[in-house]
């Protein structure tokens, strides 16, 4: 849904007379969010620019700084009243990107690269099914069942 191809398709249809011209703003939103997600979900050492590991020269930190400015300028308005609406997700993204910049600056002093997706909750969520599968059916392991399954 939030992908480069969706943004490109929206931009293509903006010129059509039966398509709302505000769709270009939506396309820009989709494009920016796609870049943010790609950057934060980098899973391999070598891949596309935003999808690769974070290094001193990968551009991830600079991209995050740009997107912080963009997010700070974004406003969500009520379709009924036209007033600005507070969106917790906006603050959440600002916290995430600022934390990403901070942790990158610290870790890149000691490491050549960072696979940033390892900092998300996905890795932790994928660990528990593995533990439950070990040693038979353990849908809700207690401490005693959990301990021997750790490597």
Condensed to tens digits (0 to 9), the pLDDT of residues 67-84 reads: 999 999 988 877 788 888
pLDDT tens figures, 44-57: 777 666 678 888 98
pLDDT of residue 4: 62
DSSP state for residue 85 in the 8-state scheme: E
What percent of the chain clears pLDDT 90, i.e. is strictly above it?
25
Mean pLDDT, the chain, whole residue set: 79
Terminal alpha carbon distance of the chain:
38
Overall average pLDDT of the 124-151 stretch: 66
pLDDT of residue 110: 94
For residue 16, name the pLDDT band (cuts at 50, 70, 90). low
Domain boundaries, the chain: 1-40, 54-119, 120-150
Structure tokens at 52: 């690769």
Supply the pTM of this predicted model. Answer: 0.70
Overall average pLDDT of the 13-38 stretch: 76
Nearest 5°: the CA angle 55, 123, 65 is 35
pLDDT tens figures, 90-132: 899 999 999 999 999 999 999 999 888 777 766 667 777 776 6
pLDDT of residue 77: 78
With a CB cutoff of 8 Å and minimum separation 6, the contacts of 100 are 40, 60, 61, 64, 116
pLDDT of residue 119: 77
pLDDT of residue 99: 93
């Amino acid at each position: 849904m939030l992908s480069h191809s969706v943004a490109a398709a929206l931009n293509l249809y903006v010129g059509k007379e039966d398509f709302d011209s505000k769709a270009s703003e939506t396309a820009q939103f989709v494009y920016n969010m796609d870049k943010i997600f790609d950057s934060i979900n980098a899973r391999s050492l070598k891949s596309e620019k935003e999808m690769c590991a974070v290094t001193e020269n990968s551009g991830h930190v600079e991209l995050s700084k740009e997107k912080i400015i963009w997010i700070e300028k974004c406003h969500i308005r009520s379709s009924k009243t036209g007033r600005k609406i507070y969106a917790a997700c906006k603050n959440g993204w600002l916290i995430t990107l600022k934390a990403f910049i901070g942790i990158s600056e610290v870790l890149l002093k000691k490491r050549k690269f960072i696979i940033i997706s390892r900092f998300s909750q996905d890795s932790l969520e994928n660990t528990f099914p593995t533990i439950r599968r070990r040693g038979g059916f353990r849908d809700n392991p207690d401490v005693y069942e959990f301990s021997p399954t750790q490597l």
